[in-house]
């Protein structure tokens, strides 16, 4: 928007009073609303600052500011270290989720789909399915017996059972109109999520998991600790990225439109005016 330093400072001050989003809402409509709400409020704060609305210059770091309110004042120096010199998108990389569920379910989903294909697993022959996870995961995947499609996205029990029963986890897996799958419902009580202290505990590896499947004939099949596809250390192939895009796009636009947009996105740096892409998206949406 071309705001100057004073206006930008004011925009940050306004945004400090607009901040929101708590994990307790995971599994509800409010969880996906968080990201849109934050983005809208950020733009709104900048627009208000541009029009002259005032805010404290110390709204973020003042004695009674945002950081003090959320108990993070002591972390300010660390947060500012490298500001303007180190860019998070570059240092941490970009992750693309191949499955439309919480990212903490993805390593287990990938492992179970692979085990299912390799051994042609029949869910009826599974006596127990154990998923080892990091210490933070149970506080996020809080729905052991999910009652809604949104809760299923934050249920390791459901996601693991769906991966083993159906061999994939896609948008249809979490559709509100989807009929109950008796095989998934039957397998879920045999899925156990346990904290495994041997798993990596770094920020980059907190989503790692391991899987152990015990069969009724006594065999034990295991997938060792692993991360998920789509993370910077295991990027999706272009084929997988296109498949993900088309699976999402088909709910809103035609395949021909999706093909054309995908081609533009793959060569975004060659588009002289970004409106050539955004106008197409807006036209498709209408």
pLDDT tens-digit map of 214-267: 999 999 999 999 999 999 889 999 999 999 999 999 888 889 999 999 999 999
Q: Is residue 283 scored above 70 in pLDDT?
A: no
Q: What is the pLDDT of residues 46-58, one digit of tens each?
A: 999 999 999 999 9
Q: Is residue 286 scored above 70 in pLDDT?
A: no
* Strands 126-133 and 209-215, bridge-based pairing: antiparallel
Are 141 and 135 contacting, i.e. CB atoms less than 8 angstroms apart?
A: no
Q: What is the pLDDT of residues 174-225, one digit of tens each?
A: 987 666 789 999 999 999 999 999 999 887 788 999 999 999 999 999 999 9
Domains and CATH numbers, the chain: 5-85 (no CATH), 103-226 (3.30.1330.120), 238-285 (no CATH)
Predicted TM-score (pTM) of the model is 0.83
CA angle 196-200-204, nearest 5°?
Answer: 130
Q: What is the pLDDT of residues 64-120, one digit of tens each?
A: 998 898 888 788 888 888 888 988 888 888 899 999 999 999 999 999 999 999 999
Q: Is residue 23 scored above 80 in pLDDT?
A: yes
Average pLDDT, the chain: 91
Burial 163-202 (b: 16+ CB within 10 A, else e): bbbbeebbeebbeeeeeeeebbeebbebbebeebeebeee
Beta bridge partners of 194: 132
């Amino acid at each position: 928007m071309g705001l100057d330093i004073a206006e930008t400072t004011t925009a940050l001050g306004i945004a400090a009073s607009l901040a929101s989003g708590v994990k307790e809402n995971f599994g509800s409509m409010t969880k996906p609303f968080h990201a849109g709400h934050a983005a809208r409020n950020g733009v709104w704060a900048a627009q208000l600052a541009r029009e002259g609305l005032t805010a404290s210059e110390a709204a973020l770091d003042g004695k009674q500011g945002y950081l003090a309110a959320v108990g993070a004042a002591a972390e300010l120096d660390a947060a500012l270290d490298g500001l303007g010199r180190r860019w998070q998108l570059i240092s941490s990389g970009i992750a693309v989720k191949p499955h439309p569920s919480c990212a903490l379910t993805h390593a287990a989903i990938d492992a179970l789909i692979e085990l299912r294909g390799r051994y042609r697993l029949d869910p009826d022959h599974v006596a127990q399915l154990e998923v080892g996870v990091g210490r933070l995961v149970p506080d996020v995947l809080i729905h052991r017996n999910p009652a809604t499609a949104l809760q299923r996205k934050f249920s390791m029990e459901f996601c693991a059972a769906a991966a083993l029963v159906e061999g994939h986890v896609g948008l249809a897996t979490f559709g509100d109109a989807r009929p109950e799958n008796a095989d998934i419902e039957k397998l879920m009580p045999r899925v156990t999520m346990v904290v495994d202290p041997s798993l990596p505990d770094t920020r980059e590896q907190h989503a790692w998991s391991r899987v152990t499947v015990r069969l009724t004939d006594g065999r034990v099949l295991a997938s060792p600790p692993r991360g998920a596809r789509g993370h910077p250390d295991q990027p999706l192939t272009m084929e997988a990225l296109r498949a993900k895009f088309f699976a999402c796009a088909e709910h809103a636009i035609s395949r021909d439109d999706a093909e054309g947009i995908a081609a533009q996105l793959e060569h975004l740096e060659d588009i002289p005016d970004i409106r050539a892409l955004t106008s197409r998206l807006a036209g498709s949406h209408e």
